[in-house]
Chain A
Amino acid sequence: MMLEIKDLRASINGRQILKGINLTINDGEVHAIMGPNGSGKSTLSQVIAGHPAYEVEGGEVLFNGKNLLELAPEERAREGVFLAFQYPVEIPGVNNLYFLRAAFNEIRKHRGLPEMDAVEFLKMSKEKAKLLELDESFLKRSVNEGFSGGEKKRNEIFQMAVLEPRMAVLDETDSGLDIDALKVVAAGVNTLRRPDNATLVITHYQRLLDYIIPDFVHVLADGRIIKSGDKGLALELESRGYDWVLEEDKSLSRA
């Protein structure tokens, strides 16, 4: 298995958000995590990526057998973890392409591959930019600076296309996207799917899952996964909302 999360508990500023997450993702699979606001979806993605503000209080996250929680964020990225941020950070003065080549070559170095030179990298980046229907001028701009919400999200998936992670976590990538942009982003993600990588889609709405078809759907509520199913569960959540799952969970825990 690629990713194995066992009884993961995490807090921020002394407030516990994740209260025992269990999740296993195998090579080639697409998992979706859905849940109401404040259920801990973004916390889970940030804990996987290694955000320093979150404190892991217990449990394990194994990635291809390695304990991810012991690694610095950059080491996780080099192992092949990629988080598409819900709110990509604007970094004035840092050139998009320069930054991405630095990241790309760090990952190559970690895998024992030679660095790619600037010319070759530019060529490859232009190809990938086309996939996301991103104008080439994007490459020359500062990272996310002055990008619209949709452009930022596309830039995230563009980075993913270049870095070719083993495990991509898409945190609310659909928020702020109109339907056309959503299709472009989803097509990008689908093109990148391979038998040896996996995707974790975190979303509040079912909409994105019309285009990125998940193998498994999990409902996260109050820091725990309270229900899992196939793509049918996402549709059911869309039509019936989250309350019935929450009620079901309550009655189960009472029993």
Chain B
Amino acid sequence: MTTETQNPKTSGLEAYITAAEALEKSESHSPGWLRQIRSAGLAHFAQRGFPTIRHEEWRYTNVAPLAEMPVRFPTSGAEVEIPEGCSMAGLGAMELVFVDGFFAPSLSTLRSLPKGLTVEPLASALRNNAALLEKHLTRYAPIGENPFSALNNALFSDGCLVHASKGVTCEVPIHLLFLSGAQRDGLCTQPRVLVVAEENSRICVMETFAGVGEASVFNNALTEISVAEHARVEHIKLQLENFRTYHIALIEARLGRGAWLGQHSIALGSQLSRHNIHFSLDAERIDCLLNGLYLSKGTQLHDHHTLVDHRKPHCSSHEFYHGILTEKGRGVFNGKIFVRPDAQKTDAKQTNRALLLSKDASVDTKPQLEIFADDVKCTHGATIGEINKEALYYLRARGIGAPEARAMLTHAFATEIISRIKPDTIRDHVNALVHARISQPEFSHA
């Protein structure tokens, strides 16, 4: 059963503020640092409210319908089963399932983990691991200009802490599955994830967002990732929510000397998704990958705003984003690369390509390179195009029907991104989901 707080007003800014104030009150025994995070978040959000298209960062993505949506805030998760195609437990992953934002132990699959690796629901970590959280939480994702991080700070109640101590290697992927069990519109969740990989550790964390019903919900997710010296982290975000969901997400990462972070963002679901993915390369010899794929159909909008902040010399970043759009699908890509004066010998590469399968689909794309060092290698390329006609003809001339040939070429475009995902089990899982989507008529019939 879902119990819900009663809000005197259920839509607009006030609904959020009322909920945050109620939470603050109920947490009066919480440590000071947490209360400070709450109150700063609330103050920021109350002052700024939702962004509008007048804000440069939100020019192409109108969240007005979201701002007006009546919302309610769950205090526990609904009883649901894991929908098909979401679980990674059968593929060897450790899987923590969250329903409506709350940890659901009965749906989760725990495995024995190497000593020194902690995977703990955030609500319990706030009790058991407070010192660690105090040290890291909000450290990597300062509120800055982002009202949604402020909102998450003010309202998060559960999520996950993943902490790998020095030198810990874990081959088992850690899968965090966030399910919406809502039957009615307006449920609002604030999943919060903190990944801390200490020196020389090596882990893989995957987050999947999905749901069981057709209700319109609002997920405002925030993930902080700290990758210390020579640590290696693969982070996969798979977004499969229903087509009425609003998904707003921030992934904020800070990397240490010699670290590696591969971030893969696969956006298939939701009505509107906005992903802010920020990497701060704050030491030398860092290497990182930003790898993304989105599929937009119907009136779906997927928006990726990425930022790679090269702050120190001898770092490289490789960024690849592909979008496949059909019907009235929309895409937004904004790729910022900052190269600070200190960051000599930076090697930054950004490619973003979109495949438009219908005349009504559209993409707004903007590479934004700001380079303040002189001895650097920075390249970027953006292309928007249709299916290659000569390739299509070639396949047909061998006997392959037009829809199958189109699906084959579209899938090939997606494969370029998917093939970079590690480990293979996750890559194959993502590939199967993408392939199934692309084989739908709206993607293969011109």
Task: Give B396 Cβ to nearest chain A Cβ, in Å.
Answer: 4
Among A77, A94, A107, the residue within 8 A (CB) of B408 is: A94
Chain A 41-54 per-residue mask, 1 if CB under 8 angstroms from chain B, else 0: 00000000111100
For residue A141, give the distance in angstroms from its CB to the closest CB of chain B.
Answer: 13
Among the 9-residue stretches B88-96, B253-261, B409-417, the one with 4 or more Cβ atoms under 8 Å from chain A is B409-417
- Partner of B412 from A51, A52, A85, A93 at Cβ < 8 Å: A93
**A99-B391 Cα distance, complex, nearest whole Å:** 12
- Are A73 and B397 in contact, CB atoms less than 8 angstroms apart? yes
Kindly provide the distance from the CB of A97 to the nearest chain B CB, expressed in whole angstroms: 13
The prevalent SS among residues of B at the interface is: helix
* Cα–Cα distance between A183 and B290 once the two chains are bound (Å): 48
A245 to B: closest C-beta gap in Å:
31
Q: When the two chains form their complex, are residues B394 and A78 in contact, meaning their CB atoms are under 8 A apart? A: no
Known contacts: A93-B412, A99-B408. The answer to whether A74 contacts B391 by CB under 8 A is no
B395 lies within 8 A of A99 (CB): yes
* Chain B min CB distance to A154 (Å): 16
Enumerate chain A residues within 8 angstroms of B413, measured Cβ to Cβ: 93
Within 8 A of B (CB), among A60-98: 72-74, 76-78, 82-83, 85, 88-94
Q: Are B416 and A74 in contact (CB under 8 A)?
A: no
Contact status B399-A91, CB under 8 Å: no
Considering only residues 106-161 of chain A, those with a C-beta below 8 Å from chain B are 106-107, 110, 142-143, 159
Q: Which residue of A lies closest to B413 (CB)?
A: A93
Interface size class of A (residues with CB under 8 A): 20 to 34
The contact of B398 among A77, A90, A93, A110, by CB within 8 Å, is A77
Q: How far is the CB of A147 from chain B (nearest CB, A)?
A: 13
Task: Assess whether B399 is in contact with A107, with CB atoms less than 8 Å apart.
Answer: yes
Interchain CB contact under 8 A, B400 and A102:
yes
CB distance from A88 to the nearest CB of B (A): 7
Chain A neighbourhood of B393, CB < 8 A: 51-52, 73, 89
How far is B397's CA from A82's CA once the two chains are assembled, in angstroms?
A: 7
Question: In the complex the two chains form, what is the Cα distance from A143 to B408 in whole Å?
Answer: 12
Q: Which of B390, B400, B401 contacts A99 (CB 8 A)?
A: B400
Given A52-B393, A85-B394; A92-B400 close (CB under 8 Å): no
Determine the residue in chain A with the shortest Cβ distance to B411.
Answer: A93
Interface size class of B (residues with CB under 8 A): 20 to 34
The answer to whether A78 and B399 have CB atoms under 8 Å apart is yes
A168 CB-CB contact with B under 8 Å: no
Of all chain B residues, the one with the shortest Cβ separation from A88 is: B394
Cβ of B21 < 8 Å from any Cβ of A?
no
A181 at the binding interface (Cβ < 8 Å):
no
Beta-carbon contact of A93 and B399 below 8 Å: no
Q: Is the CB of A91 within 8 A of B395?
A: yes
List, in ascending order, chain B residues with CB within 8 A of A99's CB.
395, 398, 400, 408
A192 within 8 A of B: no
B399/A106 in contact, CB under 8 A? yes
Asked if A103 contacts B415 (CB within 8 A), the reply is no
CB contacts (< 8 Å) of B395 on chain A: these are: 91, 94, 99, 103
Contact call A103/B398, Cβ cutoff below 8 A: yes
Closest A residue to B416 using CB positions: A93
- Chain B: which residue is nearest A76 at the CB level? B397
Looking at B393, B399, B409, B411, the one whose CB has the most chain A CB atoms below 10 A away is: B399
Judge whether A102 and B408 touch: CB under 8 Å: yes
Q: Does B63 contact A (CB under 8 A)?
A: no
Residues of chain A at the chain B interface (Cβ within 8 Å): 49-52, 72-74, 76-78, 82-83, 85, 88-94, 99-100, 102-104, 106-107, 110, 142-143, 159, 163
Q: Can you list 30 contacts pairing A with B, beta carbon distance less than 8 Å?
A: A50-B397, A51-B397, A52-B393, A73-B396, A74-B397, A74-B398, A74-B401, A77-B396, A77-B398, A82-B398, A89-B388, A89-B390, A89-B391, A89-B394, A90-B391, A91-B391, A91-B395, A91-B409, A92-B416, A93-B412, A93-B416, A94-B411, A99-B408, A100-B398, A103-B398, A104-B399, A106-B401, A142-B412, A163-B398, A163-B399
